[in-house]
Structure 1
């Protein structure tokens, strides 16, 4: 299995404040990788750096062999990268259908966009029933489904999610994570996941990466990380 995402020696931060230090990370195509660690470990900064919202001060980032250094944030989607940020990012004034169509707006093939829209509604049946409802009328779980669905409208190679379970009931969290596993298994989607529910994240992931103070302290198969009692107690709090 080839690597879709490769970070080599990546350092980044906010102005003069360094956050990430010499990050080396690979995510295999068609796999789920979970990045876990305590608050302040640099997890969100990592996703923002991959997405181009923060420019690295050192190192390189490649997706499917393409160096992202010169790619503008607004063009990332054209290179197959989509991010579902923490807080879901739904445009609450727009309807479900309008939010989803916005996600595929850059695609010029209307027939292809229509097929993708139908697939998203098939994946998220609650959204089908609420397609004319405004974003502010949705439950937290429905908003998260909408945020993921909108990202999928771009047909990404790499889907990145920042704390998708934040504020959701355990049952809804389980549904969201199960859906990510389904997308990997059925479509070959590659997922990079940041998730506060470490046990659940590792249970659906192929690989796990532990960040601590902006450095990778462990990178192993997810099952191995979950069973390493000392590492879990030291860095993950369970």
Structure 2
């Protein structure tokens, strides 16, 4: 497993209006990068472009040196890119266990699938206790755990998350972030975490990249960004 990811000169727009402007940065294999910025900064657009749902007007994205430009969203998922979109996306009519097995459907078979699902239950005890519950019966925190677990069960090279802490209680956020950090370290995943909960994101990330109106305005170690009061006040609102 490698997972070296790079964005080079990425320009993306809707209806002729650019949202991302020549965005360039990279992630080393196994690195966790927090993608930071206010609403409208371009975070979700960047993640959707990586997943293949939006096409750039210039520049591109490479995974382990391979240009992803011609790959469909399904091909990118098969290449090892998993995403947890904003909104705790789970299949409400399926049980917790069925949701997890759906995530492992095309990546694992037989014993490997059972092992991957069991590892998710080890990470998220609340899911293990509710494995027979339908998705619509879960709390907001449990649904977010399930969305993350369904991505992890595919054993991705690259994992992206869009505002996973949105609307969750602080204790749930702390547990979610700690579990994400532990899972990433265990599996050697490359992680791109888009978050407005700046403190939580920087507490687990190796690096932070700050977007402002589609431009990269900072790219530095997480600790350096957390200590830069002027930058935080200018672009992150705290």
TM-score, normalised with respect to structure 1: 0.97
SS of equivalent to 1:12: strand
Assess, with a 3 A threshold, how the Cα gap between structure 1 residues 211 and 17 changes in structure 2: closer, same or farther.
Answer: same
State the alpha-carbon separation in 2 of the partners of residues 66 and 104 from structure 1.
24
Q: Could you tell me how far 1:110 is from its partner in structure 2?
A: 2.0
The residue number in structure 2 matching 1:38 is 38
Can you give the 5+ residue segments of structure 2 that lack an aligned partner in the other structure? Answer: none
* Deviations 1:120-178, CA, capped at 9 Å, x for gaps: 11111111111110001001110000000101121100110000000100000001111
State the alpha-carbon separation in 1 of the partners of residues 80 and 210 from structure 2.
25
Q: Any conservation in 1 of the 2:3–2:158 contact (CA below 8 Å)?
A: no
User: Following superposition of structure 1 onto structure 2, how do residues 155-174 of structure 1 map, counting pairs within 5 Å?
Assistant: 155-174=155-174
The residue number in structure 1 matching 2:65 is 65
Q: Runs of 4+ in structure 1 displaced over 4 angstroms?
A: none
**Root-mean-square deviation (Å):** 1.2
State the alpha-carbon separation in 1 of the partners of residues 141 and 13 from structure 2.
32
State the alpha-carbon separation in 1 of the partners of residues 132 and 222 from structure 2.
40
Can you give the 5+ residue segments of structure 1 that lack an aligned partner in the other structure? Answer: none
SS of equivalent to 2:20: strand
The residue number in structure 2 matching 1:209 is 209
Q: Any conservation in 2 of the 1:3–1:26 contact (CA below 8 Å)?
A: no
Length, aligned pairs only: 237
SS of equivalent to 2:41: coil
The residue number in structure 1 matching 2:235 is 235
Structure 1 residue 5 corresponds to structure 2 residue 44: no
SS of equivalent to 1:9: strand
Q: Could you tell me how far 1:108 is from its partner in structure 2?
A: 5.3
